[in-house]
Every structure is written in structure tokens, then in C-alpha cells.
Structure 1
Amino acid sequence: MNINMFIDGEWRESLSGGRKDILNPATGEVIASAASGTVEDTKLAIKAARGAFDSGIWSNLSVDERADYLYKIADRLEEKAAEIALLETENNGKVIRATTNVDIPVTIQTFRYYADQIKLMEQESYTRADSSETIIIQEPVGVCGLIVPWNFPLMIAAWSIAPALAAGNTVVLKPAEVTPVSVYKLFGIFEEVGLPAGVANLILGPGSKMGNELAESFEVDKVAFTGGTQAGQSILRAAAGNMKKVTLELGGKSPLIIFDDVDFETAVENAMFGIFHNAGQVCTAASRLLVHETIYDRFVERLAERANKIVVGNGESETIEMGPLTNESHMIEVLHYIKSGIEEGARLVCGGNRITENGLDQGFFIAPTIFADVNPNMRIVKEEIFGPVLVVEKFKDEEDAVRKANDSIYGLAGAVFTEDIDRARRVVSKLRAGITWINSYHLAYVDSPWGGYKQSGIGRSLGAIGLEYFMELKQINIHQKANPVGWYAN
């Protein structure tokens, strides 16, 4: 499969002619060749998006006309769902039951949701005592640079593209360099439904240079970035040049609190899902497990017993429960974190190794890993690992649980498991996190805002507010006739 960039309605090679092999992380095999762009390619895409926006070819369409395009995109995605789900698994490594039952359906739902949502937005108006009128309208921001990660390549792309297009903006999308396949298919659908040239542009290549150009460019009015906190800080600094709007969904080190009144086996299973889903490559992963001291030892033992039985392998099989990490360099980084945890004195309960048995030696597999008896000064406790690595700590009471849960620079997510719902509500209300659950984990809804506190980001995706972040508010004050002000004596 040859993957090229899509700029101003045309498929293009990189100006430099550069290309990059795209691998299947489960096998190490090359599955595609993608154009590898430059800053100059990025500038061309920005120019196309700028021209399309300024021409009004998209923003001047009626709400219903833009919504119709989004419905058509959703319909085509649905028709190709099985094909795209398999491609996502092959490129990203996640298990087929996740891409089939979560990633692709949520992507489809996102386009339909924002097609509906844009039609629900109402204009505010106020009549004043002097019979003048104030109208509040919402307008598109302009050109939007969208930078998305490799852990949910298509779904997170849709979380930005759908509201941006619904609002009337034009976009330049920069997917992760290692996972362009499903997004490439999405842009093929844009072409099929006749999206006007320049409205949606796809650039491919190294994020550090191309993403920085999107953030720095004075022709880009907004940048939306999902990824690591350090990269987000760089984006924010670069975006300051023209004070562009910025939405950042960044890292997490999310706590899951287990009280001693839970259904034991159900809590163990949910803790596993919280960290080992998608091999831990989830921004909201429950990577810090806080367990009440009275059940701590038994919980850790049972958790390790079940984690050792997780079926790891090539996610194309329906029987596989956890796939590989998405790329080799990230696998190496996660293994370094595991080594650090051992060196700092954490107790390795299970895992901790790369899996090479049973034909998995060419893939980027790490065994489900659990550390117990950790302390808050360890790197594995403080830093986001973004892999199948769990740290477990005990707590004494509610106050201790909340203190430990909030002892982090991050504030993306958190959860509480207890049969005492009043206690659960008390604890959740004290968690400094933007996404929380009681007696569940990882559930996400397109109609509800997604984002975090502290260094986990700025702004929100999804929900009605996710659309508002791609719009500007304008106040229009109307007097039917100009009257003298009467302010000056002469």
C-alpha cells in the first residue's frame, strides 16, 4: 500500500521524495510505504486550507449542507468498517475486537454526533431597554492544525476533524508518523463524498518539524494536539506567536481506588482492564492502583495470577486479549522504565520482560507487568509509562486515598470502586481529574467532554463543548437608527 499526502484536493508525494516504511507491530513486517513530508509540505497544506477558508467554499455553506457531508462520511465509514478495523489492527497492533467494537463505531458515531450537534446550536439575542438588540453568534475559528497520536489513530482524529468541519473550519491533519493507514483511508472517503478542495488536508512525516510548523504558523488559527505533556508544552510555546487558540489533551498517571467492600473478582478484572487495555497505551490508563490495606496483599496476589493468564499476541485473532506496543522505540522506552522500577526497589510481582516466545519475537510485545510496594518518589509512580505497567500502593482510609490519588502533576482521569455509593461520590468529588468513574473504567461517551486538570491539558474534546472549542463568539449590537451620543458640549 502506497500512502501519500492529500493537499488541496490532490494526492501528493513529499516535495523531498522521502518515504517511510510502515510496520505491523505484531510481526515487524512492512505493510505500507508512506510519504515523509517536510516543513515545505506543511506550508503548502496550510496555504490550501487558508485559501479554502477565506474563499468561504466551506464556511459559507448552510449548517444543513455541512451536516450532510458529515452524514455521508459516517455512512461510508460504516460501509468500510470491517476493512478499516483490520487495517487499524495491522498498523497499530490493538486487538481486532477493540477496533471492530470500539474504535470504528465510535469514529462513525462522532461524525454523526457533530452533524446533529451543529444543527442544535441556537443564536442568543437580547432586547435592551432602549429597544436596541444584542445578538451572540458563533463563527468558525478558521484554519485548524490537528495533531493526533498513534494509540487511537482514527478515533482521536475524528474527535477533532468532525467538530472542526461541522463548525465550518478548514483543517490540516498531522497523524503520528508510524500510524497513517486508517487516516489515509478516511481521507479517501473525504475525496469520495466530494469534500471541496482544501477543506481537509493530510500531511505525513516527522511530528517535531511538521507539528511545530502548524503551531508556529501565523496562517493557522487554532491547533488541537493529543499526545505527551512535554510535546504539548512545546506546541503551546510555539502557538504563542499569533496567540492562536489551543486545545491540548496530554498525559496521565491516573489512579484507581479499590475499597475493601468491593466484589473482589469484579474489582480485580476492572483493574486489569484499566491498565492492560490496548497494552496500556491509553491516556486515561489506570496505571496507579490504590488498594485498601486490609485486602492489599490478597488483591496483588490475585491480580498477578490473572495478569499472567492474559492472552498476548497478534491482535488479528479474536482470542487475543492484549496486543503489542505500537512501535519498537516505545517498547524500548517502556522496558527502560521497568528496569528503573527494579533498580529503585519496587517489588516486581509479574511480567517485566519482552515476550519473544511462540513466534512473537519479531513483534513489540511486553508481558503484563505489575509492581507492588512502591513509593511516590519512584519514576514508575511519578511518570507516564504508557505501557502495560501497573504500580500498586496501599491506603488506610478515604483521606489517605485521596491524598495519594492527587499526588501527581497529572489530572486526566480516576476511578473509585466501592459498594458505598455515598463514599464513592465523596471521593470522586475530591479527585483533581477531568474524567472519573464509579465502579467502572475506560467508558467514554461522544456526548460528554473529555480532558483533564493540571498538566493533563487545556480545553476539552467531545460533547457540545468540543464543538464550541472550534468556534469564536461574536457580539453584534444593533440600533435601528443612529442617535446622537450627547457626550460632548461642543
Structure 2
Amino acid sequence: GLLFAKLFEETDLPDGLINVVTGRGSEIGDRVASHPESDVVAFTGSTEVGKHVAGLAGENLAVPAMELGGNNAHVVTADADLDRALDAAAFGSFVHQGQVCISINRHVVHEDVYDEYVAGLVERAESLPTGGVHDPETIVGPIIDESQRDEMLGYVEETVDAGATLETGGHTVDVDGVDDSLVVAPTVLSGVTNDMPAAANEHFGPIAPVIPFSDVDEAVEIANDTEYGLSGAVHSGDLGTAKAIADRMETGNVHINDQPINDEAHVPFSGVGASGVGHYNSDAFLSEITETKWISIQHEPREYPF
């Protein structure tokens, strides 16, 4: 934020048009969100905090624009190009250690290709370089802090206890002689059902739970069985099938034959359900933060009934 503010200072924008206030959200966030002069309150973060911020904005009838959490499904049909789907899956699950709100949280895979998919995902997960942030070879680095790391490992342990199989990962990686580091090995879980912790909860970590399905209706049911609706992906050899599934997925964004991490400035970005309200990016965001006014001009006298 400070870097962006510095860049804007170098332009000819009027002083005071853009202001950056630094500090802990718990200390300054409420004051900003509840300020009576705020017409729009935009927030990106967790659903829990987003509900609080939107509530404060609503007290002054300010418009809330909330970009919140996600539990994104990566649906793979039996006729999909598996290599392409798996390449997308590895990126979508493990880039930035899975710490992206539109990362893949659940792999929903047809039972006919399930075993092959799991094996391919394990192979890709185990090939990814792990390590510290200063190592240029690192692909999967540290989780943001100890509490998040422990929560991720807890989801894995609880999911295995519930009957899933840990195919790879599920532990921390030794970094510079520290075996209890913040780096979690890329993790693949098979035999997962949608009610198991690693699938039911939004997770910000390199965890890939793989859920089988038998037909399209079941795939859609699994994908939509979450309070969130941010992003998703569908892989299929038939674009008609993929589009039909995408149409039924209750999310703000769906990407066909790709993975869910896509965000382009000219395309509206939004979530449904617990993933937020309003639109970001493009002219859609301008509509969120501006008022539409109707001004009419009557050029001829009107005849009124009285």
C-alpha cells in the first residue's frame, strides 16, 4: 500500500485524493468502516471479518463491496485431458503455498480416472522444490505463520482420522536445519468426502484433497456443497459438457480447461454466498463505487390530469 501511495505521489493527482492509513485492522478498521462520511466500504479478507465490516458499513447505509473467502472446486470429467488437468491442478493447489483465495481447495474427479489422477498429482507434488523464501529455486515456501501452519496440518490429520488416505506430504519440511519450519510439504489426500475437514473448510495451505464422483449431477452437487462461491474450474474433453457444469456451479467465476486462479483487470470479479458481495475490476467496480443519477429535461409542456 505504501509503495502504491508513493507512486501516486509522483503523478499530478490532487493532494489528499488518495490516503493510506497504516496500523492494525482491529484498531483502525472499525473506525474507517463505520465513519459516517464513507459512502462505499471495500474489503478483501476473511468471511468472518467481512461480515463484521459490512455490518459496520450498513449502519450508515454505506455500500459494502466484500471480496471474501473461497472453497474452490476443480472438476475433472472422465474424458478430460488428464495431463493438462493435472498441470493445472498442481499450479492451482500449490502456487503461493495455496495461500490464495481462489486456489483449488477441492479436486472433484470422475471415478473412472480417479486413481490415475491421484497418482499424477502425487508425482507432481513430490517434484516441486520446497524451501525458504530466499532460495530462488523454491516453489513451495512457508505458510504465513505458525497458527496457520498448525491449522493446515490439523486439517490433514483430522481428514486422515476420518478415513482418507495421505498419499504424500502432511508434514513440515526441514529448512536450514529447522525441522519445525513454516514450510508444509505439498500434500495430496485421496478417499476424501466433502464433509471431511480438508474439504469442508477453506484452507490456505498446499493441500489437495481429491474427491471422486460418478456422474455430472454428483460433481455439481459436490462443487456446490459449500457456503462459499468464489471461483472454480472444469476440465472436460467436451466443451458443451464443461459449459453445462460451469453454468450450474454456484460461483462468481468458473474457468474451463484451466484452474481457478485467474484475475484480469478488465473482467468483473465477484463471489456469491459467503464469498462476498459486489463486483471488483472493470467498469463493474466503478458502478459499485459511484451513484447512478437520472436527470431528465422536459422540452415541451406536459398535460397533467389536474
TM-score normalised per structure 2: 0.92
Over the matched positions of the two proteins, sequence identity in percent amounts to: 33
Q: State how 1:247-396 maps to structure 2 within 5 Å.
A: 247-359=65-177, 364-396=182-214
Contact 2:81/2:235, CA 8 A, preserved across alignment: no
Distance 1:486 1:393 in 2: 67
Contact 2:97/2:140, CA 8 A, preserved across alignment: yes
Query: What's the secondary structure of 1:308's corresponding residue?
Result: helix
Contact 1:275/1:285, CA 8 A, preserved across alignment: yes
Partner residue of 1:210 out of 28, 32, 36: 28
Greater share of helix residues, 1 or 2?
A: 1
Contact 2:58/2:64, CA 8 A, preserved across alignment: no
Letter in 2 for 1:381: A
Q: Does 1:450 align with 2:264?
A: no
Q: Which stretch shifts more, 346-355 or 285-294?
A: 346-355
Distance 2:158 2:55 in 1: 31
Letter in 2 for 1:249: E
Aligned to 1:468: 287
Distance 1:185 1:422 in 2: 45
Letter in 2 for 1:466: F
Q: State how 1:406-417 maps to structure 2 within 5 Å.
A: 406-417=224-235
Contact 1:229/1:250, CA 8 A, preserved across alignment: yes
Contact 2:50/2:66, CA 8 A, preserved across alignment: yes
CA RMSD in angstroms comes to: 2.1
Distance 1:333 1:482 in 2: 70
- Offset from partner CA, 1:49-106 (integer Å, 9 cap, x none): xxxxxxxxxxxxxxxxxxxxxxxxxxxxxxxxxxxxxxxxxxxxxxxxxxxxxxxxxx
- Offset from partner CA, 1:211-242 (integer Å, 9 cap, x none): 12221111211100111111111111111211
Contact 1:341/1:378, CA 8 A, preserved across alignment: yes
Query: What's the secondary structure of 2:185's corresponding residue?
Result: coil
Kindly tell me: are residues 416 and 246 of structure 1, through their superposed partners in 2, closer, same or farther at Cα, counting changes over 3 Å?
same
Query: What's the secondary structure of 1:208's corresponding residue?
Result: helix
Letter in 2 for 1:301: A
How far apart are 1:205 and its partner, in Å? 1.6
Letter in 2 for 1:444: D
Contact 1:313/1:360, CA 8 A, preserved across alignment: no
Distance 1:344 1:210 in 2: 41
Contact 1:304/1:370, CA 8 A, preserved across alignment: yes
Distance 1:404 1:248 in 2: 25
Contact 1:449/1:463, CA 8 A, preserved across alignment: yes
How far apart are 1:455 and its partner, in Å? 1.3
How far apart are 1:273 and its partner, in Å? 0.9
Aligned to 2:5: 187
Distance 1:479 1:320 in 2: 67
Q: Quick check: which has more Rg, 1 or 2?
A: 1
Count of matched residue positions in the alignment of Structure 1 and Structure 2: 305
Letter in 1 for 2:3: K
Partner residue of 2:296 out of 465, 477, 483: 477
Distance 1:323 1:219 in 2: 42
Letter in 1 for 2:272: Y
Q: State how 1:415-426 maps to structure 2 within 5 Å.
A: 415-426=233-244
Distance 2:238 2:62 in 1: 45
How far apart are 1:342 and its partner, in Å? 3.0
Aligned to 1:65: none
Letter in 1 for 2:94: F
TM-score normalised per structure 1: 0.59
Task: Say which structure, 1 or 2, has more relative contact order (CA 8 Å, 6+ apart).
Answer: 2
How far apart are 1:411 and its partner, in Å? 0.9
Letter in 1 for 2:284: I
Flag structure 2 segments of 5+ consecutive residues without an equivalent: none
How far apart are 1:338 and its partner, in Å? 2.6
Partner residue of 1:403 out of 212, 216, 221: 221
Partner residue of 1:438 out of 251, 256, 266: 256
Aligned to 1:232: 50
Contact 1:248/1:459, CA 8 A, preserved across alignment: yes
Contact 2:194/2:211, CA 8 A, preserved across alignment: no
Query: What's the secondary structure of 1:371's corresponding residue?
Result: strand
Flag structure 1 segments of 5+ consecutive residues without an equivalent: 1-182
Contact 2:71/2:201, CA 8 A, preserved across alignment: yes
How far apart are 1:485 and its partner, in Å? 5.4
Distance 1:186 1:271 in 2: 32
Letter in 1 for 2:254: T
Kindly tell me: are residues 358 and 309 of structure 1, through their superposed partners in 2, closer, same or farther at Cα, counting changes over 3 Å?
farther
Distance 1:339 1:210 in 2: 37
Distance 2:42 2:151 in 1: 26
